[in-house]
Structure 1
């Protein structure tokens, strides 16, 4: 019930996940399993279409069809993965934020408390994608004009422009880091959540950036250390068990693909659950630093103990920001 340090945020996220395993790891694994299943099903068709390159005289139509199939796979897989990650990040805010007021959250309760906020969460995702596409069009347009006008000297414009675009993307991403938490806990819309996150991170950008970056590095290192040996062992198992005399077939790799996707989905889900926990606690910490949110949390902790099992931190706040009001 006070502003948190880096170690407290990381430890608190782990403890909250450990106390609510079904509502955190369970939901994360379920959504990642859906993403992995969609990926495997679509990739099986893509692998079949790529067999055209093994023929001696592939027709132009078959080559175009193979590349088109791969493009459709990449697009659909990317959209499904991004949507699942956004929904996962939003849903997991519920049990992890409730842990702040010492409330456990079941698997079904997490879905029940979050289902009315899924559409606004997806709306925020579409808004973010639209803004990113606008930025991409601007960068590509200026680069094209530089190539036309400056020819061999266009790199003097394009390279700094691309670097500036990447820096702007990182800066905006950090400024919007707690928008999903605001949507889920404050009951606000996508645009209000953007302004809300912008307000909360004002004056705390570098601290927020450092925590998010450190969390991503920790999750990446731990995931790689654990999943890489398992994936290698699975590859060896399927390699020794396959018949050397069998004719090569792209579909023969499906068992290996399914196994590796299952391993990747498991550890990715665990990492995402931990990252969502850090984001939720970061949102609570920013509100305590800017709005004295600890006073609200103390009151809501008392209400939860008095028989309000579905209470959400910030959902009853009449202190600082009014949920649903102007940011």
Structure 2
């Protein structure tokens, strides 16, 4: 039985079974099987197919004229007794060879299990169609993130600069390595903190984009305001867990000053961090859209990710690569401008003096602000759509979404194309 809260509907037509594990009763013979918006797929019989042919005749009703089992007046290639002609994906039918019939699409995604391209396209379409709300939220969070990065960079820069003719002792080299690692870790985690928070804040915007509804900043904030304490608590717990997964394996090397232990701890930290992030990445949208408790959101994320860990990891990693490349494209021009106008120019960049100037730091921070404002909505959109996709696959959420979108002719009694049982990735 489906025990999910919020959007979920009891039972899943994708299971092909009732809540007690038995096959559901067949619908009445005169019940409509197909909505007007979706043609019947060829692999299922049509409403007018009549009774199933006897065993000795099964498999003969799919031929062409002149083949055994062809019914009088039936179009070539049509299934047994079908008035629809050639089925979808078969010769002579719509769609050529293979491929499901088009699903209902009230908003940025079709209401069926999504492919990689559809998830990425849905995230971009959400950003394009709701850019005022999305960019307003991401801009505020990006500004806070960049302010924190700018402060830490300026405080740590004196320790990270060494002149070329300065001979560093092993202790100084370890200190420099530790300071550099500390700065990199801080940069990563403060961006992760902002990303997690924006994911929850924009979950409602993405859900409305899926339904084809408009959104405003005021409406989004009103919807999230009652959940804000829980969202902040969830973000803090996620942040602390990620911090522990990424930093604890490095502590032995950092505390003892042993470079070997530090190097050995890096792959362990990356593995733990990847497992933790993917397992609980769907917790922010689960909290906002199901309006449950913090602990429930963690459980829901782990449940939805189970069996699909590698798929979600691959899509998240690819999204990170795309956004990282986009960030570089945006930030490089600002870095070039900062290098030109900062004291010392290119030579100052080499010896580290330019990086210590406020001019350089502020211009590069502006570039980081622009890149984060653009790329964070892409990452959060993919995460929220992964949550919706997993619930469509596991819990037939497409039926609930169709009703919420006002698709009255969406047939909830018939399994929709592509919403069969899906396990694993």
Deviation at 1:43, TM superposition (A): 5.2
Q: Which residue of 1 aligns with 2:131?
A: 21
Cα distance change, pair 225–4 in 1 and its aligned pair in 2 (3 A): same
Deviation at 1:289, TM superposition (A): 0.1
Deviations 1:31-59 (A, max 9, x none): 11122234445655666x87xx99xxxxx
Q: Which has the higher helix share?
A: 1
- What are the residue-to-residue correspondences of 1:69-88 with 2, within 5 Å? 81-88=191-198
Q: Which residue of 2 aligns with 1:292?
A: 396
- What are the residue-to-residue correspondences of 1:1-327 with 2, within 5 Å? 1-40=111-150, 81-132=191-242, 139=249, 159=264, 163-239=267-343, 253-302=357-406
Cα distance change, pair 167–203 in 1 and its aligned pair in 2 (3 A): same
Structure 2: give runs of 5+ residues left out of the alignment.
Answer: 1-110, 164-175, 408-425
Cα distance change, pair 77–233 in 1 and its aligned pair in 2 (3 A): closer
SS at match of 2:208: helix
Deviation at 1:238, TM superposition (A): 3.6
Q: Which has the larger Rg? A: 2
Deviation at 1:23, TM superposition (A): 1.1
Distance 1:97 1:194 in 2: 20
C-alpha contact (below 8 Å) 1:25/1:273 kept by paired residues: yes
Distance 2:219 2:322 in 1: 29
**Per chain length, whose mean CA-contact separation is higher, i.e. which structure has more relative contact order (CA < 8 Å, sep 6+)?**
1
Structure 1: give runs of 5+ residues left out of the alignment.
Answer: 55-66, 304-327
Deviations 1:212-234 (A, max 9, x none): 01100111112212321332123
Distance 1:46 1:164 in 2: 26
C-alpha contact (below 8 Å) 2:123/2:385 kept by paired residues: yes
C-alpha contact (below 8 Å) 1:87/1:118 kept by paired residues: no
Distance 1:211 1:76 in 2: 25
Q: TM-score, normalised by structure 1?
A: 0.70
C-alpha contact (below 8 Å) 1:175/1:198 kept by paired residues: yes
Q: What is the aligned length?
A: 273
Segments of 4+ moved more than 4 angstroms = 41-47, 73-82, 132-141, 248-252
SS at match of 1:182: helix
